[in-house]
């Protein structure tokens, strides 16, 4: 970024508190390539010793997965934070999870978002490792990750500095709009975090406005959280448009 532009921006820092007690792990050490390669976004993971996922900051609930294993918050600064409890936990289809919030709720740091049964999840899923990920990384100027053991609601796990005034949206080009043939989703668990992240990452290679449509609802394909919010399940039909 040119110095003149950078100096004109106001930088804001957002500190995220531990949403769980446990031991922190670098995101690139998570045994899941989509998280480890930061395709979903950048952040940190925690091996939990508590069983109530709490809000790491003030914000609005913008996504709650139907299986209740993942929830996303948007801060007043526009930072979008995905918290994903365990690995392959989408396959539990809600068993072991009890949500305490719904989409549209405003929460304060420390509010309980999801209660979960750690023993049940440990026995039925790949891992309890919980990811705290900034999905709109184009808003992030720098990110500082902590390490070691943390206490829920007390210790900072991430400090994020973002550049205000940067519009990360892609301008709509002047040109033709094309629409795909209907696409039936073959993935047994639908468009959850992993396939949504892969799709969003692919879309960034194109200078176009790309939308995914399910019935009357649509989402910006570049946004992992927007795609997850569509709640596209197995065998559902969608279309893509690009302009």
Q: Choosing from 65, 68, 69, 84, which is the catalytic residue?
A: 84
Q: Going by DSSP bridges, is the β-strand pair 59-64/140-145 parallel, antiparallel, or unpaired?
A: unpaired
For residues 42 and 27, is the Cβ–Cβ distance under 8 A? yes
Cα–Cα distances in angstroms (integers) from residue 127 to residues 34, 67, 139, 142, in the given order:
15, 16, 30, 29
Q: Is 2 among the residues known to form the active site?
A: no
Residue 135 tokens read as 């999905």
- CA dist 208 and 199 (Å) reads 14
- Count the neighbouring beta carbons within 10 Å of the beta carbon of residue 241: 16
Element (H, E) at 121: helix 118-124
- CA dist 29 and 234 (Å) reads 29
So which residues are the catalytic ones?
Answer: 84
């Amino acid at each position: 970024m040119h110095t003149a532009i950078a100096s004109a921006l106001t930088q804001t820092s957002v500190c995220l508190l531990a949403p769980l007690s446990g031991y922190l792990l670098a995101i690139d050490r998570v045994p899941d390539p989509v998280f480890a390669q930061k395709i979903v976004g950048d952040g940190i993971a925690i091996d939990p010793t508590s069983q109530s996922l709490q809000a790491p900051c003030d914000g609005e609930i913008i996504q709650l997965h139907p299986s209740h294993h993942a929830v996303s918050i948007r801060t007043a600064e526009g930072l979008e934070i995905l918290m994903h409890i365990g690995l392959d936990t989408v396959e539990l289809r809600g068993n072991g999870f009890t949500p305490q919030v719904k989409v549209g709720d405003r929460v304060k740091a420390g509010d309980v978002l999801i209660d979960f049964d750690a023993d049940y999840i440990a026995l039925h899923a790949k891992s309890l490792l919980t990811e705290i990920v900034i999905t709109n990384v184009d808003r992030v100027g720098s990110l500082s990750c902590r390490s070691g053991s943390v206490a829920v609601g007390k210790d900072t796990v991430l400090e994020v500095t973002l550049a205000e005034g940067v519009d990360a949206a892609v301008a709509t080009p002047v040109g033709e709009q094309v629409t795909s043939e209907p696409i039936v989703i073959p993935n047994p668990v639908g468009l959850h975090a992993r396939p949504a992240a892969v799709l969003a990452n692919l879309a960034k290679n194109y200078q176009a406005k790309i939308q995914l449509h399910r019935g009357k609802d649509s989402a910006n394909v570049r946004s992992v959280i927007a795609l997850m919010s569509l709640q596209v399940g197995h065998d559902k039909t969608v279309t893509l448009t690009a302009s």
